[in-house]
Structure 1
Amino acid sequence: MKAIYFEPFSGASGDMILGTLIDLGASASFIQKHIEAIANVSMTVRKTNKGGIVATDVSISENSPNNARHFSEICEIVASTGLPQIVEENALAVFEIIAKAESAVHGKSLNELHFHETGQDDAIADVVGCCLAFYDLKQNPKTAYDEIVCGDINVGGGFVNCCHGKLPVPAPATLEILKSGGLSFYADGDRELLTPTGAALLSHFAAPAQMQTQSNKIVCIGYGAGDADTETPNVLRASLIEYSGCLPFQKEQIEVLETNVDDVTGEVLGNLVENLMASGALDVSVFPIYMKKGRPAHMIKVISKVENSEMLARQIIRETGSLGVRVMPTKHRLSVKREIVSAAVTFGGKSYEIPFKIARFTDGELITISAEYENCKQIAAGTGLPLREVLRRAEDEGRQFFS
């Protein structure tokens, strides 16, 4: 298996990521053709020396000034130029990350937002160009990768001037993106090193670097040049690593929320569990416990994605009256891939469409398959068969479909 491993020791921006990917082997001419068609820009690629390191410098210049755009306008631009579907989907997802961050910072809906720096032609070209570069590397057998991971990001320090005035580094939108993306970062320097576009691209494409390997081999190394002149070379490094011995799990960053309550009824707790799951909790458990003076109580434990923790904690407090929720971050949850796929199963000569929950290791090995309970319950009621017989037969056929 192969992974692209980013090392943002001097930050990251859209053009730095694009330069790094071209240095790894992405086709500059393929990318240039598409981004010059989608945005009114000119793209040039050259080699440069940054602090003794030869790196690829990508320059994207606007052919004419342009005004701020709404989020919907950017989506229309991206969707109207015939990009490969996966490239279009990735580009729209990156802009949605930026839009949600700007929305949280400025308190405006996505429809009201004006993108200033990140809505101009050069920023659009950066995002689409990087999405094209990832796509192109994936198509080439020599550079095809299985995953993308990112080490701790240096955001820099000091202050940055933007359309809203002078702001501390990391800029508010960048910080929101880092919060939602779950990537680790630190501050070292006296200028901005991580831009919102760079943060959004890494957050969308990369997981925190936690590869567990027995051995690995560097296939190739790429360096993308930044614009700054800093004591540490202002470059972004990425390595294409071939590795073996990796555990066949997905790596996820999660948080565990806990609180103890001693005056909440079973009905309220049952309703809370349903509401938390509907709001995006990964799992919810309620345990009977004893508190001081022997009072019976309950511990509520919720597993959450990092970006949902505050919302779920607020919901717990509102529905139970708890005065606080403990948050325990962890970067080490290993999980199998899960998906829901429908298939037709025949009972009594009639075909029924049943959703199946399927769990696999990342190497494709099937772990479990379970037929959706509510669908099987309806089939049992309609056919007169025992529910357990419907579940068994459905899952037996499901294993033949999906093994």
Structure 2
Amino acid sequence: MGTHLHFDCFSGISGDMTLGALVDVGMPFRDLVGGLKRLGVSGFRLTKRRVHREALHATKVNVQITSAMRSPLSLRSIHKILSRSRLSERVKQQSRVVFDRLAESEGHAHRVPKAHVHFHEVSVLDSFVDIVGALIGCEALDVTRVTSSAVNVGSGTLQSAHGTLPVPGPAVADLSRGIPIYSAGPARELATPTGIALLRTLTTEFGAMPPIIPSAVGYGAGDAEPEGWPNVLRVLLARESLQRGRLHDMVVSIETNLDDLNPQIYEHIVERLFDRGALDVTLTPVIMKRGRPGIVLTCLAGQEHVERMLDIVFSDTTALGVRVQPVARQILPRRFVSVPIRGGTVRVKIGTVDRGTAKGVPEYADCKRIAVRTGRPVKVVMEEAAASYASFRRSGKVHA
């Protein structure tokens, strides 16, 4: 079923911290070294050692550059190296996404197209090792779900080739759009572009640690050793068994209180929200201030549809403010089967509870269509569809 990896970024995240944490939590170091040989890039050597960061024991993975590349590499050149490599297709694709994000952030910071961004001949080797190595590690640990805490980006200023910059630097700030970050601890940069780009690519849920039963905990050390601060990345590894095979995702809840809208308009608003990609829309009656009756409009949507939902709520209602917050969901694996009844066929949505157990719900729209065409009550059509599905299950034509 795979494993669940949780990043605890209380001291930020970087590429080498990620490598160290993955080795510390259980990835064999030889698998990391052997996996990176499939990249087809030379000029570096990996070492690891046990270190202390304040009161914590951690693993430090070092990348020693033995010979730098002859010239900076463009994003296109990096894609070619990845395509020619003997890495798995999954690692190749994820690596491309991480490098694309790094190039986009650097391009935004320097106001140039990402195709014109070039990776320095020394740092690109570090980037290859950190990015590809971390993805090899996740594959070796059979990671199928990744969650993360909010990311501590540090504070103060940092020195760069372009002068003094605020923390987080421009690239980290750009990569952090849409994920929770905060500032704490020593006055220094704690999160690097590579670390944030990896996190964005791997993680599906940011926030408080979800319920897990850890089987291993790992600590990856960073280079810096600020006094009184354990500069490590902590990861927790768990078998994906607590939720018994249920799927996980993050959606966004959009909610507003309304007490001065013509009730006839609600039907139109709900239809528009569903048409634009809403997962669910509800209207809840409430008593508001001064005893006024009102309605709480709640819409669930994927992150990619949030702006569409907000546009509709602000344009079609009297709302002046909207509450927006991420919501974690557990959902059953589902599929559709079609069953025959009098007057046509009805799709039945099947949710798998566990091995051998499933529940099926006839699609209302299909039942309504048949009811209108045949003149029978919708309730009767739905009952007939449910009976047909049950018969199919007993016959073995439909499996849980």
Q: Specify whether residues 6 and 297 from structure 1 end up closer, same or farther in structure 2 by C-alpha distance, changes over 3 A only.
A: closer
Instruction: Measure how far apart 1:20 and its partner are.
Output: 1.4
Measure, in 1, the Cα distance between the counterparts of 2:242 and 2:124. Answer: 44
Letter of the aligned partner of 1:199 in structure 2?
Answer: I
Q: Does 1:236 align with 2:236?
A: no
Instruction: Measure how far apart 1:194 and its partner are.
Output: 1.1
Work out whether residues 339 and 385 of structure 2, in 8 Å CA contact, stay in contact via their aligned partners in 1. Answer: no
What is residue 47 of structure 1 aligned with on the other side? Answer: 49
Write the deviation string for residues 212-246 of structure 1: whole angstroms up to 9, x where unpaired: 36xx5x64443322122312232223344579877
What is residue 154 of structure 2 aligned with on the other side? Answer: 156
Measure, in 2, the Cα distance between the counterparts of 1:264 and 1:256. Answer: 20
Write the deviation string for residues 69-105 of structure 1: whole angstroms up to 9, x where unpaired: 34x6655554453432333444345456657767887
What is residue 85 of structure 2 aligned with on the other side? Answer: 81
Measure, in 1, the Cα distance between the counterparts of 2:271 and 2:160. Answer: 44
What is residue 336 of structure 1 aligned with on the other side? Answer: 331
What is residue 8 of structure 1 aligned with on the other side? Answer: 9
Measure, in 1, the Cα distance between the counterparts of 2:374 and 2:184. Answer: 64
Q: Which runs of 5+ in 1 are unaligned?
A: 139-144
What is residue 193 of structure 2 aligned with on the other side? Answer: 196
- Secondary structure (helix, strand or coil) at the match of 2:61 reads strand
What is residue 227 of structure 1 aligned with on the other side? Answer: 223
Residue among 283, 286, 293 paired with 2:283: 286
Measure, in 2, the Cα distance between the counterparts of 1:163 and 1:228. Answer: 19
Measure, in 1, the Cα distance between the counterparts of 2:112 and 2:361. Answer: 42
Write the deviation string for residues 280-319 of structure 1: whole angstroms up to 9, x where unpaired: 4332223567888999875422234567545532442134
What is residue 370 of structure 1 aligned with on the other side? Answer: 361
Q: Does 1:359 align with 2:357?
A: no
What is residue 168 of structure 2 aligned with on the other side? Answer: 170
Measure, in 2, the Cα distance between the counterparts of 1:95 and 1:275. Answer: 37
Work out whether residues 277 and 305 of structure 2, in 8 Å CA contact, stay in contact via their aligned partners in 1. Answer: yes
What is residue 69 of structure 1 aligned with on the other side? Answer: 74
Work out whether residues 259 and 326 of structure 1, in 8 Å CA contact, stay in contact via their aligned partners in 2. Answer: no
Instruction: Measure how far apart 1:198 and its partner are.
Output: 1.5
What is the identity percentage for the equivalent residue pairs of Structure 1 and Structure 2?
27
Q: Specify whether residues 288 and 47 from structure 1 end up closer, same or farther in structure 2 by C-alpha distance, changes over 3 A only.
A: closer
Work out whether residues 63 and 129 of structure 2, in 8 Å CA contact, stay in contact via their aligned partners in 1. Answer: no
Work out whether residues 257 and 326 of structure 1, in 8 Å CA contact, stay in contact via their aligned partners in 2. Answer: yes
Measure, in 2, the Cα distance between the counterparts of 1:317 and 1:226. Answer: 45
Residue among 129, 132, 136 paired with 1:128: 132
What is the aligned-residue RMSD (CA, Å)? 4.7
Q: Does 1:212 align with 2:215?
A: no
Work out whether residues 152 and 181 of structure 2, in 8 Å CA contact, stay in contact via their aligned partners in 1. Answer: no
Work out whether residues 337 and 350 of structure 2, in 8 Å CA contact, stay in contact via their aligned partners in 1. Answer: no
TM-score by length of 1: 0.71
Measure, in 2, the Cα distance between the counterparts of 1:342 and 1:242. Answer: 29
Write the deviation string for residues 150-194 of structure 1: whole angstroms up to 9, x where unpaired: 34432211224567765432335534544534x564432211111
What is residue 26 of structure 1 aligned with on the other side? Answer: 27
Letter of the aligned partner of 1:63 in structure 2?
Answer: A
Task: Pick the structure with greater CA Rg.
Answer: 2
Measure, in 1, the Cα distance between the counterparts of 2:372 and 2:112. Answer: 49
- Secondary structure (helix, strand or coil) at the match of 1:180 reads coil
